[in-house]
Structure 1
Amino acid sequence: MSRTRTALALGMAAAGALSLASVTASAAPLPAAGSTTVTPAGHGFQATLSGKATLKAGSVTVTCNVSVATGTVPAAPGNQNPAGPVSSPISAPTYSSCTSSAWGVTPTVTTSGAWTVSMQHGSPITATMTVPAGGLVVKTTGLASCTVTTAPTAAADVAGAWANGAPPSLTFTNATVPVKVTGGFGCPTSATTSTFNAVYLVTDTTDPAQQITVGP
């Protein structure tokens, strides 16, 4: 693979990295959602990347060392749903200190808009992060100049898993996200998806002695 094509693949990888997966629909009817309660009601929280996020497309790997988002558990009774998930607004996550395995290419990530994360109690506990339309843009400089826009035409739901603990964690595994790539010669304009893996640890910023917990 030429340096230019490798560089461009990076842009696709970084975009998918920073946003995540659309949920695949099942042909069979889905069971009714159970009840969900997120506690403590009204508390703020912060999700911080644990270790590194690895972003991969083909043979190219992008590694991001820093990613943070903040949010708030809804106040009672909004922190409870007898038949479905509980949704919390979050800040547009930030991504920085990103490098790539492709020589001579630097990715820069900007995020914007109203993001949310929804928790559904079950086994496992599932999480869905919603990226607003155009809510994350990756631009590459160096060997290639491309712009990669995630959720290019509509908001995208990204599937993850939540685990209660001290602290609790939010995990995204092999997540995919729709993207649109624009740019000059060699930019992978036919690319429509990319992938992402990361683990976030979640802390209660209102009372650090407590844990954000998802229950029935």
Structure 2
Amino acid sequence: MTARRLRSRALLASGAGLALASGLVLAGSAGAHTADDAGSTTIAPAGHYFAATLNGKATFQLGPVVVTCAVSGSQPTAGGGDANNQIPAAPANHNDAGPVVSGLNSPTYSSCTTSQAGVSATVTTSGAWSVAMQYGTPTTATLTIPTGGLVVQTTGLVSCTVTAAPDAAANLAATFDNGAPSQLVVTDGPAPVKVTGGFGCPTATTSSLFNAIYDITDATDPSSQITVSS
């Protein structure tokens, strides 16, 4: 087993142990990069479409309730009808002093469960998401989620609505590992949230944490790998 795979499994285990919950949830602006402190970045293959598929489980804490989703991903538009989930064509796939940005189709989530008996959950997403890749040691990524771009709805004994990035678009810091497949790793990503609902809803909660690993694969040429270099 490779060191990268061992690291990935360790991250998944730590996410479960910290009692987190589901979704590509947002962090504050601390995850963003600026041209002033960034070196050059190149994403390859230029112009290729890519898919992001959850490896393991994604977890997200809603106060005392933990939501876990086993299925999640972001896929290119069928037929490649837009630039979402696409590496920019050359020369835009290279930046001399900063990250390279790609738009994303909003991810989907399913097979979600909660830690509380009698409570079920659904996760919906919307809006214009994006990811910025910055080469370095480690290579980092910043996921941008639009305002209100992820909503968790619980029903049953506790009926709550949790909205991520409730007031403005937000950034989630991650790392990117080249490999076969390459992986986007989110570790303890802090997420601003707004919780509404009746009795039992943690309405005082304003932030949470997120852990997940996504396999990043080349949808244009499955024999190729998505890589980030200088």
What TM-score range do you get, normalising by the shorter chain? 0.7 to 0.9
Once residues 77 and 215 of structure 1 are traced to their aligned partners in structure 2, the CA distance between those partners, rounded to angstroms, is 14
Kept in 2: contact 1:20–1:172 (CA 8 A): no
Once residues 62 and 186 of structure 1 are traced to their aligned partners in structure 2, the CA distance between those partners, rounded to angstroms, is 15
Once residues 53 and 114 of structure 1 are traced to their aligned partners in structure 2, the CA distance between those partners, rounded to angstroms, is 21
Kept in 2: contact 1:14–1:107 (CA 8 A): no
Residue of 182, 189, 214 corresponding to 1:175: 189
**2:82 is equivalent to residue 76 of structure 1:** no
Instruction: Quote the offset at 1:14 in angstroms.
Output: 4.1
Once residues 32 and 23 of structure 1 are traced to their aligned partners in structure 2, the CA distance between those partners, rounded to angstroms, is 15
- Which amino acid in the other structure matches residue 52 of structure 2? A
Matched position secondary structure for 1:24 = helix
Counterpart position of 2:105:
91
Once residues 154 and 63 of structure 2 are traced to their aligned partners in structure 1, the CA distance between those partners, rounded to angstroms, is 17
Once residues 87 and 58 of structure 1 are traced to their aligned partners in structure 2, the CA distance between those partners, rounded to angstroms, is 33
**2:116 is equivalent to residue 111 of structure 1:** no
Matched position secondary structure for 1:208 = coil
Q: Please identify, of 179-188 and 81-90, the stretch whose mean Cα deviation from structure 2 is larger.
A: 179-188
Residue of 48, 51, 74 corresponding to 1:46: 51
Counterpart position of 1:8:
none
Once residues 65 and 55 of structure 2 are traced to their aligned partners in structure 1, the CA distance between those partners, rounded to angstroms, is 21
Q: Please identify, of 49-58 and 186-195, the stretch whose mean Cα deviation from structure 2 is larger.
A: 49-58
Q: State the percentage of identical aligned residues.
A: 60
**2:134 is equivalent to residue 123 of structure 1:** no
> Given the superposition, is the C-alpha separation of residues 49 and 145 from structure 1 closer, same or farther in structure 2, using an over 3 Å criterion?
same
Alignment map for 1:1-216 (pairs within 5 Å)? 14=21, 17-24=23-30, 32-56=37-61, 60-70=65-75, 71-216=85-230
- Which amino acid in the other structure matches residue 28 of structure 2? S
Q: Please identify, of 93-102 and 48-57, the stretch whose mean Cα deviation from structure 2 is larger.
A: 48-57
Instruction: Quote the offset at 1:31 in angstroms.
Output: 6.0
Q: Where in structure 2 are there 5+ consecutive unaligned residues?
A: 1-19, 76-84
Q: Please, what TM-score do these two structures have when normalized by structure 1?
A: 0.87
Kept in 1: contact 2:186–2:213 (CA 8 A): yes
Q: CA RMSD in A?
A: 1.9
Matched position secondary structure for 1:72 = coil
Once residues 30 and 80 of structure 1 are traced to their aligned partners in structure 2, the CA distance between those partners, rounded to angstroms, is 13
Once residues 31 and 123 of structure 1 are traced to their aligned partners in structure 2, the CA distance between those partners, rounded to angstroms, is 17
Kept in 2: contact 1:57–1:195 (CA 8 A): no
Alignment deviations for residues 84-120 of structure 1 (CA, whole Å, 9 cap, x no partner): 0000011101111011111111111110000000000
Instruction: Quote the offset at 1:23 in angstroms.
Output: 4.4
- Which amino acid in the other structure matches residue 101 of structure 1? S
